[in-house]
């Protein structure tokens, strides 16, 4: 499977990555190369092999349902470019 320039442009837009037109073709080549390796892996017969989800051999950790966090608005808003009345403030995003 190989990717064309239009698909690469679409993926870039969905990921909010700005990609100049002249970079589309080289990027398409690189990504197609990666996909080719994946396809090569698909040639291995994995019938009867349990899919591996993690290399760590322990179960998912969980927490008790108690409030242990929050109440740190200063820290939360600390890096924001704009705030007001305890809110993050961003350009208008409504239709």
Partner 1 sequence: MSGTIQGATGTWEMVIGLEVHAQITSNSKLFSGASTAFGAEPNTQVGLVDAAMPGMLPVINKVCVEQAVRTGLGLKAQINLRSVFDRKNYFYPDLPQGYQISQFLQPVVGAGTVVLDMDDGRTREIGITRLHLEQDAGKSVHDLSPDRTYVDLNRSGIALMEIVSEPDLRSSEEAGAYLRKLRSILRYLGTCDGNMEQGSMRADVNVSVRRPGADYGTRCEIKNVNSVRFVQQAIEYEAQRQVDILEEGGVIAQQTRLFDSRKGETRSMRSKEEAHDYRYFPDPDLLPLEFTQAWVDEIASSLPELPDDRKARFVGELGLSPYDAGVLVAEKEVAEFFEEAARDRDAKAVANWIMGDLFGALNKSGLDIARSPISAAHLGALVDLIADDTISGRIAKDVFDEMMKTGRPPAEIVDQRGLRQVTDSGAIEAIVDAVMESNPDKVAEYRGGKDRLFGFFVGQVMKQSQGKANPKIVNDLLQQKLSG
The answer to whether 20 touches 9, Cβ cutoff 8 Å, is no
Alpha-carbon span 11 to 7, nearest angstrom: 6
How far are the Cα atoms of 18, 20, 27, 34, 73 from residue 8, in angstroms, in the given order? 11, 11, 7, 13, 39
Least distance from partner 1 to the Cβ atom of residue 91, Å: 7
Q: Which stretch binds partner 1 (CB under 8 A): 17-25, 26-34, 38-46, 51-59?
A: 51-59
Alpha-carbon span 79 to 74, nearest angstrom: 9
- State which residue, 16 or 37, has the beta carbon closest to partner 1: 16
Q: Does 26 bind partner 1 (CB under 8 A)?
A: no
Member of 40, 49, 50, 86 binding partner 1 (CB under 8 A): 86
Q: Does 41 bind partner 1 (CB under 8 A)?
A: no
Binding residues for partner 1, rule: CB under 8 A, are: 13-16, 53-54, 56, 58-73, 75-77, 82, 84-95
């Amino acid at each position: 499977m190989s990717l064309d320039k239009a698909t690469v442009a679409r993926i870039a837009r969905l990921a909010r990555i700005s990609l100049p037109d002249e970079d589309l073709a080289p990027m398409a080549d690189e990504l197609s190369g990666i996909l080719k390796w994946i396809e090569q892996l698909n040639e291995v017969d994995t019938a009867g092999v349990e899919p591996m989800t993690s290399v760590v051999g322990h179960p998912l950790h969980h927490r008790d349902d108690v409030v242990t966090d929050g109440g740190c608005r200063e820290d939360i808003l600390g890096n924001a470019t704009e705030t007001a009345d305890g809110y993050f403030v961003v350009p208008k995003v409504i239709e």
